[in-house]
Amino acid sequence: MVRFSVLRRDGFKELYLYCIENEIRTIVFESTSRFSRDSFELELAYRRLVKEGFTLISATSDTEFDDRYQSKLVRQILSAISEYQREEIVFNLSVARERKKGQNKKIGQVTMEGQGKCEGRKSHRELNPELVKLVKRLRRKNWKTKKQKSYRQISRILSEDYGLTNEKGNPFNLKSIMTRLISNLNNNLI
């Protein structure tokens, strides 16, 4: 697992540079868990900031930031609890994602690879299922002529006859119809 140092987080880096530029030596943060959720990184960041002359204060007063051994013990315990909570949240979210993917696969909301969809951009089928049904109907072979409408013809019909356009208000691109709309049909999603 990749871990990022407290001092490398973008928001903290901005705060740190602002404090240096404006000669601010006291940093107040919400709680120890918001400062760092890793006990090792917490101690490293604390020691570096104290060495540079900063005073750290927790707004919730859950721990003292000084060099007494009691303070160090409390910091390490609270940091270990925060680290555990972070890993528990990550685990719970991954379980929930897998459960949602399974549910979505059962109802036909799948990715291009055929797996249940849980994240990412919504497909046309999710956003506008009627559009996908209409494209499917327009793409069918005519029972009399046995011919199929081209993607260009479908794009023109959608735009002129039905007033349907893409997100930018333009007629659907041929490739968009072919890949996004028709790919749903080829995967038997309707």
Give 107-153 pLDDT, tens digit per residue: 877 776 778 887 777 776 777 778 888 888 888 887 788 888 888 88
**Block residue for tokens 């919504």:** 122
CA 31 to chain centre: 25
* Residue 99 φ then ψ, to 5°: -65, -45
Question: Among candidates 64, 81, 86, which has minimal Cα distance to 4?
Answer: 86
On the 0-12 / 13-18 / 19+ scale of CB atoms within 10 A, 118 is middle
Collapsing DSSP to helix, strand or coil, 58 comes out as strand
Predicted confidence (pLDDT) per residue in 9-60, tens digit: 888 888 889 999 999 998 888 877 777 777 778 788 888 888 889 988 888 7
pTM score:
0.46
CATH topology of domain 6-107: Rossmann fold (3.40.50)
Question: Among candidates 184, 185, 181, 157, which has minimal Cα distance to 171?
Answer: 157
**Which DSSP symbol is given to 125?**
H
Per residue in 137-147, is it b (16+ CB within 10 Å) or e — as a string?
ebbeeeeeeee
Highest mean pLDDT: which range of 35-39, 91-95, 135-139, 185-189 = 91-95
Domain definitions of the chain by residue range = 6-107, 124-186
